[in-house]
Amino acid sequence: MKGDFYINSPSQLNPDEARKLIRSKAWEKPTAGMANGFIQANLAILPKDLAFEFLLFSQRNPKSCPIIDVTEPGSPVPMLSAPNADIRTDLPKYRIYKNGVLSEEISDITSYWDDAMVAFLIGCSFTFEEALLKNNIPIRHIEESRNVPMFKTNIDFVKAGRFEGPMVVSMRPMTEKEAIRAVQVTSRFPSVHGAPVHIGNPEAIGINNIHQPDFGDAVTIKGGEVPVFWACGVTPQAVAMHVKPEIMITHAPGHMFITDLKNEEFSIL
């Protein structure tokens, strides 16, 4: 019966309960709406010989890659954000990139882990969605039980070492009035992408078909609504395809790591 509560009331779970549900393979869906009030994070895992360059890349591009935590080389435990967690098992789905090519999606990366791995947890827009909902701004992908739509753009990052590539954005449709309020609300969360990077015409940032996202799912855009775009933590996947490291492990889009950190800790009042 307790398990039924966990599955039927994911927003009410605490982070440890949510991660246990994921670790047991009882939850294999996107994590939007789980453990409300707690920071969710994107994941990028690289060999330690690339870790400094990626950290520098993130520092130079904080809008897309706001760092929440970095593990010690070889340790799967994010000590600052979830000391009882295990990066190898506590996300619903991972992606394995080899030489820039997506080779596999799996629910456990223990077999890939070695003492040279460094994991980066990167701020996720799911964090500010709770604040948007509290301000009566609709989150269409949650309403439609879909993954948030994400798109590659023509906006280039600031290069760092071998890391460069195009910015990825997530999109949420809303009215123009709601968009103004959304800018105000999300500006309070600079550590998890902050304010939108673009509002309106998708073609202006290189998106030719708003109904065919590069990652995630298409959602309904109603009459009178405009698309609003935020920098997105799927960025490392676009970078992986561009830079082609021998191996890079990421979260599958929408399948995040749930930390013990509260959203309010990352908001500016």
Place of tokens 């130079």: 60
Question: 132 to each of 155, 167, 187, 193, how far by Cα in Å?
Answer: 25, 23, 11, 14
Give the residues of the chain that fall short of pLDDT 70. 1-8, 266-269
**Which one, of 218, 129, 134, 225, lies nearest residue 178 by Cα?**
225
- pLDDT reported for residue 254: 84
Contacts 24+ apart (CB under 8 A), 14-22: 14/38, 15/82, 15/258, 15/259, 15/260, 16/84, 16/260, 18/258, 19/82, 19/85, 19/90, 19/258, 22/89, 22/90, 22/91, 22/92, 22/258
Question: Strands 67-70, 166-175: parallel, antiparallel or unpaired by DSSP?
Answer: unpaired
186 vs 188: CA distance, rounded Å? 5
- pLDDT reported for residue 1: 41
* 114 three-class SS: coil
Could you read off the pLDDT of 197-218 as tens digits, one per residue? 999 999 999 999 999 999 889 9
- DSSP per residue, 6-22: HHH-GGG--HHHHHHHH
45 vs 97: CA distance, rounded Å? 10
Tell me what percent of the chain is helix, strand and coil, each rounded to the nearest 5.
30, 25, 45
CA atoms within 13 A on the CB side of 232: 30
- DSSP per residue, 88-109: TTSSS-EEEEETTEEEEEES--
Is the pTM for the entire model greater than 0.85?
Answer: no
What tokens were used for 140?
A: 């269409």
* 248 three-class SS: strand
Could you read off the pLDDT of 73-126 as tens digits, one per residue? 999 999 999 999 999 999 999 999 999 899 999 999 999 999 999 999 998 877
By the 10 Å C-beta count (0-12 exposed, 13-18 middle, 19+ buried), 175 is classed as middle
Residue burial 134-168, b: 16+ Cβ < 10 Å; e: rest: eeebbbbbbeeebbbbbbbbebebeebeebebbbb
Max distance between CA atoms of the chain, in angstroms, equals 52
- pLDDT reported for residue 189: 82
- pLDDT reported for residue 165: 84
